[in-house]
Amino acid sequence: MKEQSHIKRIAIFGSTGSIGTQALEVIAAHNDQFSAEILTANTNADLLIQQALEFQPNIVVIGDEKKYTAVKDALASTDTKVFAGQSALEEVAAMDCYDLMLAAIVGYAGLKPTLKAIETGKIIALANKETLVVAGDIIMRKAVEYKVPIIPVDSEHSAIFQCLVGETRNKIEKIILTASGGPFIGRKPNYLVNVKREHALQHPNWNMGVKISIDSATLMNKGLEMIEAKWLFNLSPQQVEVVIHPQSIIHSMVQFEDGSVKAQLGLPDMKLPIQYALAFPKRIKNDFPRMDFNKINTLTFEEPDVKTFRNLMLAWEALNKSGNMPCIMNAANEIAVYAFLRNRINFLDMTDVIEQTMATVPFIEQPTLEEYFESDGEARNFAADLIKL
């Protein structure tokens, strides 16, 4: 009989995505330490049902209300409670039946449930970078107010977080975010203009969800991570650097004011930072593949090509301008990626859509939460009109 009091109850918001499914693998491998208490999905009812039957959570939420009956009927023989709709995500996030939220909903949609969880005093394992990109000042202020730890799940931010353990009194000179460069490293615009959806989804090192794979191919993912890092680690824009590291072995680095650099290394496997975030402050033994330094012949580094991959420069501009500009950029990017995945625009058009949206939607230096929501909607509408969605 398991001692229930030692089991950390996990709520996975976005359980059917790439991070969510890998988190459930971690939970299954360590069911003496974790239980899946809440599972949520947006539209993938079939996989949500399958997960619920296997993990027997207390609650599931299906975002698409049209699929509520199908999920409820499929789980009728279990004790799992079924909710539906976007407002249900917020209501469930505010419940007391879990200890840690894994915030893995893709995009802007993850913001409101994460805020609710913080206000309820839950630990946040943050895999949704857009939450901090859109409203990092409000999220971090709330986290301090409610004394809520935010543990990053992105491999790069997890690496920085791990490098900073035990270094609280030591000043950071800068952090260095590593980027694989994606599938088009070294390519120029005359090649990229013909890139199709299937090419952009073929990441050389990581198995990721659809949206993050496209962001990685455009280097927007690294731009979002720069903004996220600023808020997570309380940095100025000048303290955030990006370097291309195609092997994806060094996941990121911290340089301290004495010039010393700490790095976290590992094979490219998202289950490791997921497990670290769920178990923190403990490290748990696992059977993940280990690095063999006798087989790693080369680790290389180069500057990102921001003339070709202009999304990274746009993100740098948004990071420097701050206010609602990262929110505007993120909204335009989500619309552009959506359109590209449906073959409505080409690869390089995505950058043009983002740039025009950032130049048009009104800038607000110190937005309220409501103004963030309004900026997001305005940016989405402008970008969609540009594309004629």
pLDDT in the model for residue 105: 92
Summarize pLDDT for 24-75 with one digit per residue, the tens: 999 999 999 999 999 999 999 999 999 999 999 999 999 999 999 999 999 9
Summarize pLDDT for 206-248 with one digit per residue, the tens: 677 889 899 999 999 999 999 999 999 999 999 999 999 999 9
Residues contacting residue 357 through CB under 8 Å, at least 6 positions apart: 328, 329, 331, 332, 379, 382, 383, 386
Q: What percent of the chain has pLDDT over 70?
A: 98
> Which residue ranges form the domains of the chain, and what is each CATH number?
4-152 (3.40.50.720), 157-268+289-321 (no CATH)
- Asked if 151 and 126 count as a contact pair (C-beta separation under 8 A), the reply is yes
Task: State the pLDDT confidence band at 284, using cuts at 50, 70 and 90.
Answer: very high
Q: What's the mean pLDDT when you consider all of the chain?
A: 95
**Number of helical (H) and strand (E) elements in the chain, helices listed first:** 16, 11
pLDDT in the model for residue 4: 52
Q: Is pLDDT at 2 greater than 60 in this prediction? A: no
Nearest Cα to 40, choosing from 18, 9, 17? Answer: 17
- Asked if 158 and 19 count as a contact pair (C-beta separation under 8 A), the reply is no
pLDDT in the model for residue 49: 98
pTM, two decimal places? 0.93
Q: Is pLDDT at 172 greater than 50 in this prediction? A: yes
Task: State the pLDDT confidence band at 205, using cuts at 50, 70 and 90.
Answer: confident
Task: State the pLDDT confidence band at 302, using cuts at 50, 70 and 90.
Answer: very high
Q: Is pLDDT at 1 greater than 70 in this prediction? A: no
pLDDT in the model for residue 129: 85
pLDDT in the model for residue 5: 60
